[in-house]
Structure formats: C-alpha cells, structure tokens
A = this chain, B = another copy of it.
Amino acid sequence: MSKIRVAVIGVGLVGSEFIKQLLSVPGSPFQLVALTSSTRTLFSPDTPITSSWKTQLSNSTEKADVKSLTERLKALVTPTDKVVVVDNTSSDDIAALYPLWLSSGLHVITPNKKAFSGSYSLYEAILNASKSAGARFLNESTVGAGLPIISTLKDLVLTGDKVLKIEGVFSGTMSYIFNQYSTGSPGGPAFSSVVSEAREKGYTEPHPADDLNGFDVARKLTILSRTIAPSPSIDSFASVQTASLIPSALEGIPTGDEFIARLPEFDAQFDAMRKEAAQEGKVLRFVGVVDPTKGEVKAGLEKYPTTHPFATSLGGSDNIIMFHTERYSPRPLIVQGAGAGAAVTAMGVLADLFKLL
C-alpha cells in the first residue's frame, strides 16, 4: 500500500491536536515527515516523528524555513507516494504558498480560511495550480470545523443539485452570544455582560471586536460561495455585505479591555432590538446567507420566529447550516453541531487526509 507523507505547518492548539490524532491512527497509512513552528523546522523523512515530537522539534537546529522545506518535500513525491502539507496556522503568508505547493505536486489540507476567502487572484491561482499539477486542496475544517459542510455542498453541486440558498449560524462565538442574549423574551442580561462573560470563558477572541465585526462569517460565506461556483464577483471576503455589530463609536479601539469597558454604553441599542424582536415573537441571530439565485452573500443580525430551528434547536456555541436546494425543497438539509474547538477542527483535517487515500 502506498504511503502518504505529511508535513505539518503550525503546532499550536489545532496543530498539536492534529498531530495527536494522526499519531493515534491504527495501522496508519500516514507518515509524519516534517513539523514547522513559528521558529523551527524539523524535517525527518527517515527517523519517525513520535509522540515526543515537541522535544524532537525543539532539538532541531534548523530555523523555520518553509521555502527550503518545500524543495525537500517535493523530492519525496513519487508516482505512488503522496506528500501533503497540512497548514494549521491562520497565516496569510503561509496561505500565499498554496499555489507553489500545489504546482509542486504537494497536496494541501487546512483549516486556515485565509487563502480561500482572500483575494480572488490567489484563489484562482490555487484552482489553476491544483488542476495543472493534479494535486488536491481540501478545506473541510474552514467552515463548521469537523461538521460535514464543505463535503456536503460539494456533493450537492457535483451531483447536479441546484443550491437555492444556504443560511446558517456560522460563528460559534456569535451563536453563544445570541443563544444567551436573545431567547424570545423582551428582557434579559445586558449585551455587554453576555459578551464579557463569553470573553472570560474563552469563547471570543482576546479583542471581542474581532468576532463582532462579522469577518469570520464573511470569510466562511466566501468559501461556500466559491465552492458552489468560483467567480470573481466576490473579490475577497471584504466584498460580502457584512453588518458589523461594533458600535461605530467603538471602531478602532485598540485593546479588548477598553472595548469591554465601553460596550455597556450601547446596551440600550441592543436591548431595543431584542425587545422589538420579542414583540414580533422572534429572536435575534447573527447569520450568514449565500443566495446564488439573487447573487446575494451577506452576514448580519436577523430575526427568526421562536419556532425556527435557529431559535429552538441551537445551544452552546453550535453552528447550524441549512442547505435549501432544488432537491432539498421545501425542507432543507440541515447540519448542526460544535463548529469550533481544537478536537473537532483537527478531526475535520484528519478526515480530509483520509480522503486522499
């Protein structure tokens, strides 16, 4: 049986968990041949990289050098043995290397959204490199972590179904915040206190504005939209109509602490929206919509009836995604579950790796 050689870039929370899962595969067809942290590279195609990888990596005398690593990985490709680069970073610089890797015959698997939601020219370069070299890129974990979102969408499209609308709660952070904040009752905890609590529990970025700006959702929508059909009409995630939740007076506040300190000034605004929704028998949810029939891709706060699955079925920091298609109509295909976290993200990456077998 042919081997698949795996080079991991990024050994943080997701990277470490991925390595752990990879090394636990029974009778593994995968061989871990390289690790790169922000400071060091370990290239070890002959000596196995084991569960003591942290020591092995810190003993490596080689500085992090992804370009030279690329050359050495390329040399490992044979007609039967595949080489895969797993990018577990969230780096734009690493994402920019995908065309190089793919055109070198290296497959790319990643939960990093940057390359697929950045400039259309980079995305096009990735598609072209993949096609011409026959190397694949797989990115299940970029949307919904380990949930089967990208694969389901690809299956729908490949088999000739027509996507009418994708609608969902794509951010675990936004899900958590609004599941707490808006339950259908006109009152409840202050918006600032829910955000502050979410931050203390580690559900938000250190600077909550990095969640409340909606960019994470806009990036995921860009990826879904391009998975349906690559089109320059979305030049990058910045082209998505995104209704940020950052009060304009708080735009550009440099630290998360300052942001949290000032957020209570705007509680009344959020309360008014919650109350209005409740009076209509609705809840507030931060959702993303891709509507190919209208050519619409947008992220923002919307109202849903308290009987809608976004109100009744969601809890914790769940994602929920509804695929409305010609075949799944009038009732959509729905996928729901934890959409963030190291274990489920790493699982999505490893599941992609199995697809290369």
Contact = CB atoms under 8 A, between A and B. Distances in A.
B155 A354 contact: yes
B331 A316 contact: yes
Interface stretch (A144-152, A196-204, A274-282): A144-152
A318 interface: yes
Can you tell how many copies of this chain the complex includes? 2
A327 B145 CA distance: 12
A348 to B, nearest CB: 8
A199 B334 CA distance: 27
A159 interface: yes
Interface string A292-325: 0000000000000001010011011010000100
Interface in A155-179: 155-156, 158-161
Interface residues of A, number: 40
Contact of A313 (B146, B309, B323): B309
Among A159, A313, A330, A337: residue with most chain B CB under 10 A: A159
A342 B318 CA distance: 31
B313 A331 contact: no
A337 B328 contact: yes
A194 interface: no
Contacts of A332: 337
B315 A312 contact: no
A106 interface: no
Nearest to A323: B337
Nearest to A351: B155
Contact of A327 (B330, B331, B344): B344
Contact of A158 (B327, B343, B351): B351
Interface in A78-123: none
Contacts of A24: 160
A342 to B, nearest CB: 10
B351 A159 contact: yes
Interface of A: 21, 24-25, 146-148, 151-152, 155-156, 158-161, 307, 309, 312-313, 315-316, 318, 323, 327-328, 330-338, 343-344, 346-347, 350-351, 354
14 contacts: A25-B159, A146-B159, A148-B148, A148-B152, A155-B347, A156-B347, A159-B346, A159-B351, A159-B354, A161-B347, A315-B331, A331-B337, A332-B337, A334-B334
Given A159-B350, A309-B309, A327-B347, 19 more contacts: A25-B158, A146-B155, A148-B151, A148-B152, A148-B155, A151-B151, A155-B347, A159-B346, A159-B351, A160-B347, A160-B350, A313-B313, A313-B334, A315-B331, A323-B337, A327-B344, A333-B336, A334-B334, A334-B335
